[in-house]
Amino acid sequence: MATAEIDPLLLLRHAIAAGTPVVATASDAADAPETPLPQARFLQFSGAAGDSTPVPVDAPTRFLSNGTPVDLRSIYFAWLNREVAIHEYNAAATRLNEELAKVGLSATVHKFAFVERLDLITWLEGASEESEYIKAAGGPGVSGAAGAAGGAKTALGGSAPLSRSGRGAYIDPRLAVIYSGERHTGDHNTVLRGTKPMDFSHVRKLAVPFTSQKQHGSGAAGAAVSGGSMKPGASLPLNPKGGAVRRPDPIILLSPSASSLLRMSNIKSFLEGGRYTPSDSSSTATMHFLTRTMRDIDPARPLRFILVEGPEHFKPDYWSRVVAVFTTGQAWQFKSYKWNTPGELFKHVQGIYVGWRGEPVPQGIREWGHRVLNCSIDKWTDPTVAGADVNRFHDREVAESIWRAIEYNMRQKGWKRDAGATLGH
């Protein structure tokens, strides 16, 4: 079958769903050995009958970035690096481009923006049936897998057997044509926010005058009832039983840099126990929860903090809950943030730097000034070595100073006993 009749994007999606191998080769021969991606000229897709379909790695796909089709090599490379952070993916793409230049190729791997990469991976793994970046095979107005059902062809020559559920179960080609005519009503996310994430955090500021009036009115009504009589026009409190109000959990962002002293493997023990231990590179944790009583915010109920390394899975309203950002002084950390420059970020969020005592402070930390708390801890020494400081009592002092800075910033942003931030977001 001619290459023009093959949809590389759907072939890759079906291979992922079926768990069949995708092999990079230097030629289109079925028995060609696997080769590294910089030297590869084709991707071999295994068929159900044991055959294979070779597709050139520079073949354009229906995924558009700024109106330009993205080649299959870039799509496949993004899928291989789907689990790494965005800065690690960009670094790997740069290395691959250098290797392509060494073998005499002028082609380069496209570096997807954060939202594009997330959208592509979600579509490829079958979690979404639509993508705003994928051009419909059957013409404008239809996107994603539904649009491909009417016009995309596989190597078998028929209509592409699509997974309606996105979980890898194939359907009959005739049903695929029927499903392509379905009208998608969307879920609650697309209904509320459309196809692109929208930031509605400004609504909180607009609602403050109304909520304060409501609370004042409820208090006046409660006073009228406790007095033994109801004044004319007074109303009962909205919640006379005094039910608890839902308070959002504050979020602390860690630095994904390998040079950071505090990572996911040791941050919890440091902030909870006040003791530093070296980070464990083999740790696979992506999120931690810890509780802390902030006496100036709510002395009766501890706050639960969420600790993550990056905002990859953030919803727009999550940024109003970020109360601190740990940094090593490298500005690339903030590229995927809502506020992606240090000057703007630290107007809204408390910055924290932790380094070794006696070592020079990075230039970035010095330039960002008082908006970033500069902390130093004693260098780590193996407790089994003679003369090593096994108590590390200075660690607790540093941990407490970090908590004091976080609590002060939270109060400045409007955190209260029953509400999250109301200012500065």
Question: How far is 101 from 4, CA to CA, in rounded Å?
Answer: 27
CA distances from 412 to 33, 223, 253, 346, 415 (A): 62, 31, 19, 13, 8
Place of tokens 């608890």: 244
pLDDT computed for residue 187 by the predictor: 61
Q: What pTM does this model have? A: 0.43
pLDDT at 403 (0 to 100): 93
Q: From the first residue on, what is the mean pLDDT of each consecutive set of 10 residues in the chain (425 residues)?
A: 71 89 90 90 82 90 91 93 88 92 88 88 83 72 41 41 43 62 62 59 73 57 44 38 64 90 90 88 81 89 89 85 92 90 90 92 88 89 69 88 92 84 67
Tokens of 377: 């801890």
Q: What is the pLDDT of residue 201?
A: 67
What pLDDT is attached to residue 241?
40
The one-letter amino acid at 330? Q
Domain ranges of the chain: 3-187, 251-412
The predicted structure's pLDDT at residue 195: 55
Do strands 251-253 and 322-326 pair parallel, antiparallel, or not at all (unpaired)? parallel
pLDDT of 194: 56
What is residue 10's DSSP assignment? H
pLDDT for position 407: 92
Regarding the domain delimited by 251-412, which CATH topology (the fold level of the hierarchy) does it fall under? Rossmann fold (3.40.50)
Compute the Cα dihedral for 389, 395, 397, 398 and give only its sign: positive
Q: What is the pLDDT of residue 47?
A: 75
Q: Concatenated DSSP letters for 340-361?
A: -SHHHHHHHSEEEEEEETTSPP
**CA distance readout (Å), 290 to 152, 249, 269, 294, 304:** 50, 10, 10, 13, 6
